[in-house]
Structure 1
Amino acid sequence: MNSYSYLQMYQINTKDVKSYPIEWNKIFGNSNKSIVEIGFGGGEFLVNLAKENNNYNYVGIETSLTSCHKIKKKIFLNNLNNIQIILEDAKFAVREFFSDNSISKVIVNFPCPWPKSKHAKNRLFDEKFLDTLSSVLEVDGEVILTTDVWTYASEVKEKFLSNGCFEVKNISEIQQLPFKTRYEKKWENEGRKKYLLIAQKRCKKEIKRLLEGEINLPHQKIQKMNFDKLQSLVGFKKSSKNKTLVIKDIYAKLDGSEYLVKVFSEDDRYIQSYFVDVIKIKDGWLVKLDDIAKAYRTPSVKEAVNIIAKELEN
């Protein structure tokens, strides 16, 4: 094994999964309970946790590719087989990739509090995410938050209490976590205090997922294509309550046998950019989601394929 082969290991390519939520016990090959860390950073906490207790399966969620590379090296050097990671938005990942009552603990260490009102959409603990946590956590399962900002801990506590599905323990000041993270060391050097908040699930709320069940590749066949309409699709936009799609550009193959339609879409604040293929076939044209530029088959993505086919055939 070469020195960088571990970069191909330990990560779930969630856009290649055939059915959602993910069956984690099949991924890990056991029936152990799951612990999830959101925003694992350099991976110090999650790796040490997995080393200390191999009776759990650990899933780390991050949006930083650099952080994913760092933790993979640590997992490899420690020869651990009980950690998998996901490169994805946490709100989307927890809701779509975990079934009801399937997580034992969710750990969040030193998240950005996003204090400015204009950044409110970036805050992790909003009302919908708390509903998601109430669904995916097992009964008595815990959310464990550590932060260096007292006001942030207090705000999150109030949100858990308002949700109605959690019992929340009093915020406590702590000296240090069981395993020090890079951020914890930084805050200690700056003399900051650290606070612990634990919320325990008591009941659940029903949530709506975008990806439930087996996900097939959306496609449509059309007999004839309106080439004038093809070019006029650039700038097309359609919005509804929870969905938006915009056609941004069109690229053509020189021989005119294939076109790529660039689309942006949004489902319940989750944004994707992808291509829809329009390909000449024997008895007409095939309109399908491009299978190289990966996208989740959300309702807006399926709708984009259907709308493009309908518009071109008309």
Structure 2
Amino acid sequence: MEFTQYLLQPALFTELPPRWEEIFGRRAPLAVEIGFGNGEFLVEMAKKHAEWDWVGFETSLTCIVKTGRKLAQSGIQNVRLVLLDGKFGLRELFPDGSVLRVHVNFPCPWPKSRHAERRLVDEDFAQTLRAVLLPQGEFHLVTDALWYAEEAARKLSEAGLGVQGPFPLSEGGPGTRYERKWRSRGLSIWGLVASSLTPGKVERIAEGAMPHAKVAVKFCPERVRALSGLKEVWPEGAFVVKEVFLSPEGKTALLRTFSSDRGFSQHFFIVVSEYGDGLLVQLDSASVPFRTPAVKRAVFSVAKALEAG
């Protein structure tokens, strides 16, 4: 499949942030697009700036496939695609002071106040930009919602970034089908540019190490089944074990689990299996999540619950 040569699975990496020069096979300026859609802008920018290495984030597998095919048809080699929430990816996958350019074109503004927490540009995102951008690095936002651009400008400025705009883009937009659609309706397009004035730092929560725990108890199907519904909630995260599946021989179990870290959600399986005279609790290798605090807490809480009986 053409798109697979461009697809990265950073949850499998044992080192985070990764060494991008090893991934691309060269040392070059890094540029990022969050929410690249069908890939029009990403493909054209990768051609225009072939001297840069590009990383695109999307949450739609369909968009990943379509963009990967366009990249393959154009013979482009300086792009990698990641099926991941871009806000999380920008913070976790790039070291401080490593990114030259970040582009976001027409993000959903989530206009209703009850959905405000879903907006991309918030205090955490602004602090991430301040940390990962190079001194000469820039964040470019394009939107058809002036109020959203104004809100983004305010949050970026409050975080200590230098902000130009919002300003009308009568021409020179990203050139995507969304831009053509908005302009055909007579809608205005707005842009802003933010740059890092002083170096920043951001706390990263994903690690490469795989959490596991050994428990000095025998495998008991009833005790394992009782783990269904196990959950914990704390200020910055939560997890819940939704279902328990036992193997036919009753010696191994899969625990379908959901976790959340600062709004970043993951779905994965925890394996409970016999190990020597006891049990081993670990992540299932077929559904490896990012090893965040909530994921690690889920593994160790399962082990603790089994030990307590």
> Unpaired segments of 5 or more residues in structure 2?
none
Partner of 1:244: 238
- Are 1:274 and 1:295, in contact at CA under 8 Å, matched by a contact in 2? yes
**Residue 222 of structure 1 aligns to which amino acid in structure 2?**
V
Verify: 1:203 aligned to 2:198, yes or no: yes
1:148 corresponds to 2:144: yes
Q: Deviations over 1:31-83 (max 9, x none)?
A: 11011111111111111111122111111111111111111111001101111
Which residue pairs with 1:284 in the alignment? 278
Deviates more, 1:137-146 or 1:239-248: 239-248
Partner of 1:310: 304
Q: Which amino acid aligns with 1:310?
A: K
CA offset digits 1:105-145 (Å, max 9, x no partner) = 11111111111011112100000110011000011311111
User: Match for 1:244: what amino acid?
Assistant: A
1:178 is displaced (CA, Å) by: 5.7
- Confirm or deny: 8 A CA contact 1:227 1:312 kept in the other structure: no
- Partner of 1:112 in structure 2? 108
Structure 1 residue 218 corresponds to structure 2 residue 208:
no
Give the whole-Å Cα distance in 2 for the aligned partners of 1:132 and 1:256. Answer: 46
> RMSD in angstroms over aligned alpha carbons?
1.4
Tell me the secondary structure at the aligned position of residue 118 of structure 1. helix
How far, CA to CA, are the matches of 1:113 and 1:192 in structure 2? 15
Distance 1:272 1:44, change over 3 A: same
Deviates more, 1:173-182 or 1:117-126: 173-182
Report the TM-score when normalising by structure 2. Answer: 0.95
Tell me whether 1:298 sits opposite 2:267 in the alignment. no
| Conserved 8 A contact 2:91-2:132 | yes
DSSP 3-state at the match of 1:301: helix
Aligned residues: 307
Distance 1:242 1:229 in 2: 29
Q: Which residue of 2 aligns with 1:124?
A: 120
Partners of 2:146 and 2:25 lie apart in 1 by 40
1:244-298 superposed Cα distances (whole Å, 9 cap, x missing partner):
1111111111211111112111111111111111112333221111111221111
Amino acid at match of 1:206: K
Q: Is residue 168 from structure 1 mapped to residue 126 from structure 2 by the alignment?
A: no
Distance 1:178 1:170, change over 3 A: closer
Is 1:157 matched with 2:150? no
Q: Which residue of 1 aligns with 2:258?
A: 264
Q: Calculate percent identity across the aligned residue pairs.
A: 37
**Counterpart of 1:104 in 2: which secondary structure?**
strand
The residue type paired with residue 267 of structure 1 is D
- Amino acid aligned to 2:134: E
Q: Which amino acid aligns with 1:294?
A: V
CA distance in 2, matches of 1:109, 1:179: 7
Instruction: Name the CA distance, whole Å, in 2 between partners of 1:178 and 1:34.
Output: 21
**Partners of 1:33 and 1:99 in 2: CA distance:** 13
Is the contact between residue 57 and residue 81 of structure 2 (CA under 8 Å) also seen in structure 1? Answer: yes
Q: Which residue identity is paired with 1:217?
A: M
Distance in 2 (alpha carbons) for counterparts of 1:194 and 1:267: 34
Compute the TM-score of the two structures, normalised by the length of structure 1.
0.94
Q: Secondary structure at 2:7's aligned position in 1?
A: coil
In structure 1, list runs of 5 or more residues that go unmatched: none
Runs (4+) off by over 6 Å: none
Q: C-alpha separation between the residues in 2 aligned to 1:304 and 1:151? A: 40
